């Protein structure tokens, strides 16, 4: 495959790294991204729950796992798995670090109310788990839904405790937030509550879409840039999925270029593919933004000339917005809708 800023990785590994683009790449060289300004609304507290319904059997990529009683010590190994747990009142005691610079106390703004005073322990980096650290926490459940967990990792962890791996039938990091929420909340006996929360979030997104009927006829893309290479996130990526739920469409040519992988590498010669009605960039630093804007092939595009591009993660306040945009979870989506929709609405119309 073509060279990229992520090195010589397989397509699966590129998807893994790009899943955290809004945080794993863009927070490099920045300070903590978990602190928000006083003007930002805080996420709603995680709802109180009952003990749940058990036993449950959860199907996943590597089979099925039966859970007979409410887990008391849960480790979340997936990118956004902690959010579905927090949304139903379960505080994971262990997580993995998906970020170059993790948020303060390993909690994002929308997670703080759910975690409370609990500070989860980091037990690995992305899909590289430290089995000794996981075992030391003595978990009675490990969840790795939005992950690239391998069969060997699953087998090793299954010797320690109950494990729920990623959903079957989809590529890693392409399951919808609804699928992830349903799978994770079922594992902790709260599937009914999970479905209620899904309906609430879908209603909020639908309301935002209804408030902007003009978006129904517009195209939108989320893009990234690194090492001289452009990337466009396509169908199956959480950021793109949210844009389509808000009414936008993604150019079919980009989806074809991604070949179902959720991310398309866009050459400088085909940067015209980014010439859409609304373009959202997720970048590392102000210097990266300046570099993108200075590239002649990009600067020549109408989307650049007409200032129809939104640059995230170039300001302290925007770090949490872009991370929430990338998470696209049942807990982060209400936050990102409140934060990102006004930003999109403020972009000029195509002229």
Residue 208, pLDDT score: 98
The predicted pLDDT at position 262 comes to 82
312-335 average pLDDT score? 81
154 shares its domain with 21: no
pLDDT per position as a tens digit, 163-213: 999 999 988 887 899 999 999 999 999 999 999 999 999 999 999 999 999
* Domain tally, the chain: 2
Two tokens at 88? 């139903």
Give the residue from 185, 201, 217 where a domain finishes.
201
Query: In this structure, is residue 179 part of a structural domain?
Result: yes
Distance (Å, whole) CA 222 – CA 237: 10
Closest CA to 115 of 341, 331, 313: 331
128 phi and psi, to 5 degrees? -100, 100
Pair (16, 77) in one structural domain: no
In whole angstroms, give the CA distance from residue 160 to residue 142. 9
Tens digits of per-residue pLDDT, 267-313? 999 999 999 999 999 887 788 899 999 999 999 999 999 999 999 86
Domain boundary among 201, 223, 253: 201
pLDDT of 139 strictly over 50: yes
The verdict on 65 and 196 lying in the same domain is: yes
Which residues lie closer than 8 Å to 207 by C-beta, 6 or more apart?
none
- SS3 call for 160: coil
Domain assignment present for residue 275? The answer is yes
**If DSSP codes are grouped into helix, strand and coil, which group holds residue 263?**
strand
Find the mean pLDDT for residues 236-240: 87
Q: Does 16 reside within a domain?
A: yes
Question: Vertex 131, ends 5 and 98: CA angle to 5°?
Answer: 30
Rounded-to-integer distance, Cα 230 and Cα 214, Å: 28
Is 297 part of any domain?
Answer: yes
Say how many CA atoms lie within 13 Å of 122 toward its Cβ.
Answer: 17
Same domain assignment for residues 179 and 226: no
Residues 229, 147 within the same domain: no
Average pLDDT of the residues of the chain: 85
Domain end (from 201, 218, 248): 201
Same domain? 230 vs 332: yes
Rounded (10°) CA dihedral 239, 244, 249, 250: 30
Residues 120 and 99 in one domain: yes
In this structure, is residue 44 part of a structural domain?
no
Residue 141 forms part of a structural domain: yes
Tokens of 105: 């106390």
**Does residue 254 contact residue 221 with C-beta atoms inside 8 Å?**
yes
Mean pLDDT of 121-127: 93
Q: Is there a contact between 239 and 325 (Cβ–Cβ < 8 Å)? A: yes
Mark whether 138 and 228 lie in a shared domain.
Answer: no
The reply to whether 36 falls in a domain is: no
Q: Going by C-beta distance under 8 Å and a sequence separation of 6 or more, which residues neighbour residue 103?
A: 32, 33, 34, 35, 109, 320, 323
Q: Are residues 226 and 147 both part of a single domain? A: no
Same domain, 161 and 229: no
Instruction: Indicate whether 195 and 64 sit together in one domain.
Output: yes
CA nearest neighbour of 171 among 18, 15, 22, 58:
15
For residue 169, the enclosing domain spans 56-201
Q: Kindly report the number of other CB atoms within 10 A of residue 351's CB atom.
A: 7
Let me know if residue 3 belongs to a domain.
Answer: no
Q: Check whether the bond before 101 is cis (ω within 30° of 0).
A: no
Q: Rounded to whole angstroms, how far apart are CA atoms 69 and 72?
A: 9
pLDDT digits (tens, 9 = 90+) for 39-86: 333 344 444 446 789 999 999 999 999 999 999 999 999 999 999 999
CB atoms within 10 A of CB 7: 10
Cβ atoms < 10 Å from Cβ of 6: 18
Q: Strand 74-76 relative to strand 141-143: parallel, antiparallel, unpaired? A: parallel
Give the CATH number for residue 23: 3.40.50.1980
Closest by CA to 239, choosing from 251, 217, 223, 253, is: 223
Q: Indicate if 154 and 257 belong to the same structural domain.
A: no
């Amino acid at each position: 495959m073509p060279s990229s800023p992520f090195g010589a990785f397989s397509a699966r590994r590129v998807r893994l790294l790009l899943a955290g683009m809004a945080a794993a790449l863009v927070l490099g060289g920045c300070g903590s991204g978990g602190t928000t300004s006083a003007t930002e609304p805080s996420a709603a507290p995680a709802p109180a729950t009952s003990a749940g319904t058990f036993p449950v059997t959860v199907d996943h990529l590597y089979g099925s796992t039966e859970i007979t009683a409410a887990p008391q010590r849960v480790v979340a190994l997936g990118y956004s798995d902690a959010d579905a747990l927090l949304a139903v009142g379960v505080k994971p005691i262990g997580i993995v670090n998906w970020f170059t610079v993790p948020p303060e106390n390993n909690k994002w703004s929308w997670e703080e109310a759910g975690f409370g005073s609990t500070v989860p322990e980091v037990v690995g980096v992305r899909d590289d788990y430290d089995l000794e650290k996981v075992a030391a926490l003595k978990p009675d459940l490990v969840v790795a839904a939005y992950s690239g967990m391998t069969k060997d990792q699953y087998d090793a962890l299954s010797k320690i405790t109950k494990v729920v791996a990623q959903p079957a039938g989809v590529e890693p990091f392409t399951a919808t937030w609804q699928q992830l929420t349903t799978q994770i909340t079922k594992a902790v006996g709260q599937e009914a509550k999970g479905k209620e929360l899904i309906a609430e979030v879908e209603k909020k997104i639908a309301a935002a879409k209804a408030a902007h009927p003009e978006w129904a006829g517009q195209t939108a893309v989320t893009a990234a840039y690194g090492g001289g290479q452009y990337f466009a996130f396509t169908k199956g990526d959480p950021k793109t999925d949210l844009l389509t739920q808000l009414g936008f469409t993604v150019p079919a040519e980009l989806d074809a270029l991604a070949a179902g992988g959720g991310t398309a590498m866009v050459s400088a010669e085909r940067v015209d593919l980014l010439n859409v009605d609304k373009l959202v960039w997720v970048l590392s630093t102000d210097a990266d933004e300046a570099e993108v804007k200075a590239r002649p092939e990009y600067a020549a595009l109408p989307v650049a000339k007409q200032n129809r591009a939104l640059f995230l993660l170039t300001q302290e306040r925007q770090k949490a917005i872009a991370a929430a945009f990338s998470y696209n979870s049942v807990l982060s989506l209400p936050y990102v809708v409140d934060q990102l929709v006004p930003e999109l609405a403020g972009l000029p119309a195509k002229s």
